[in-house]
Chains A and B, each alone.
Chain A
Amino acid sequence: MAKMLYENRMPGGTHWSLEMKQGTTLKLIDQEGGANVGMLFYNPQNPLERYNAPDTLKCQHTFKLTQGHCLYSDMGRIFCSIVDDTVGWHDTVGGNLSKAKLREKWQERTYQEARNDWTLSGTDSFLVELAKYGLGKKDLAANLNLFSKLVVAEDGALQFVEGNSQAGDAISLRFEMDTLVVFHTCPHPMNPAPAYPKKPVIYQLWQADPVTADDECMNACAENQRGFQNNERYLAGCHTGACCS
């Protein structure tokens, strides 16, 4: 049986980062409904290896992310697999809330005026977390927006779908290699809410069940099987060398 290692709650509009070990699971729970989690992944051994949204989408011929999908690095490897999802659709093309966008869309509340009830941008949140690892603007890539849904019409028009995630909805990411996870709970830049939405998220760390031959994510498509093979080859070199000691 899987074992929960740790649980914490992130208020809306805040940020954090953590290193997930291969074989652990990060479960995120939308506490009130309507949450958004901006997220980026890096290889802690070589942060030039990072989450690649285009590769993730085209390898799996999908525009949305949900259970059964894998999240790819730009090096043909899988950071993590979505092993459980009650939401059904997560976005990875809507990008991140910039400071300019925040000011344009919503009343900005500074720290001086509002203390911890200030309104923080997703970009500033990422930059603060990235700086802890010596990373910066150049390392920003297209991010995940967990719990948020964007649909595309026939003519290519993009639309944000409200009410995509309900209170208690959750997504579980099983890590297939050691991964630096940088995340924030700032709103999606296309959220039409009249006021800056502050939606809390609970995150839990679990020991993952071992990947078995009939694993849903690994077998979702031939591409994912090859992605898992790439991880295997990487970990074989890694675990015999000094890099992951």
Chain B
Amino acid sequence: MIRESMLHADDSCFRQVVPAGDYFIHTVLKGQTVRILDLAGNQAADTLFYSASNPTERYSAIDTIREQGNVYLTTGTMLLSSEGNPMLEIVADTCGRHDTLGGACATESNTVRYGLHTQCMHACRDSWMLAVAEHADMGLSKRDITHNINFFMNVPVTPEGGLTFADGISDAGKYVELEAKMDVIVLISNCPQLNNPCNAYNPTPIEVLVWNP
């Protein structure tokens, strides 16, 4: 559901542009609102969330979609943890639909999807691995890399059980905004994917903004 935000960028307490192929890791406190902004359009922001006090508790795609009874994420969706607790709520969304079934690109799965020649190309999971390695204080490792949200991606399921990768429904300036229900670590890979027609083979920067309550 499309809902615009009342928040103004000038009032934010934090903002950072994340180039394609880079990661973003930051703790957002309970009550704060975080916006992920698609600066140039049709960019995928592959995002994981962890409880900051106990990262073993983390975003769960399967629990989230089952409990809301819908496979797509948009305004009103409560993102649930692996313990069934509310982590963040999507409070504004100018895109209308986000994917959480498709997972993230990895060098290994790229060889399956796009061909063995893609083995050495940069992928989302590499960005996450580097993030957890460079932020050892966060207490994360590959064991914690699980199923993510692909903000701005459109992956429709057909009633016959097919999964399709449709062209993006995002555009320059579209955003999604989430209010934190607990202190959360936000870990984003701004996808470097050069093989997917969804982004016209052109990965672009995103921006992350945070507001105090």
Contact = CB atoms under 8 A, between A and B. Distances in A.
Interface string A56-80: 0111011110000000101111000
B184 to A, nearest CB: 17
Interface in B82-134: 82, 84, 97, 101-104, 106-113, 115-116, 125
B66 A189 contact: yes
A188 B30 CA distance: 32
Contacts of B155: 58
B146 to A, nearest CB: 6
A155 B71 CA distance: 9
Contact of A230 (B101, B108, B125): B108
Interface of A: 48, 52-55, 57-59, 61-64, 72, 74-77, 89, 93-96, 98, 100-101, 137-143, 151-158, 189-190, 223, 226-227, 229-230
Nearest to A222: B115
A58 B108 contact: no
B161 A89 contact: yes
Nearest to A153: B159
A94 B116 CA distance: 31
Given A62-B162, A152-B157, 9 more contacts: A58-B155, A63-B162, A74-B106, A93-B101, A138-B56, A138-B143, A142-B147, A151-B159, A152-B71
Contacts of A72: 109, 112
22 contacts: A48-B142, A52-B103, A54-B61, A54-B147, A63-B157, A64-B161, A72-B109, A74-B106, A76-B106, A89-B161, A93-B62, A93-B101, A95-B60, A95-B63, A137-B82, A152-B157, A153-B159, A156-B71, A156-B157, A158-B71, A189-B66, A229-B116
A98 B111 CA distance: 35
Interface centre among B56, B97, B146 (most CB of A within 10 A): B146
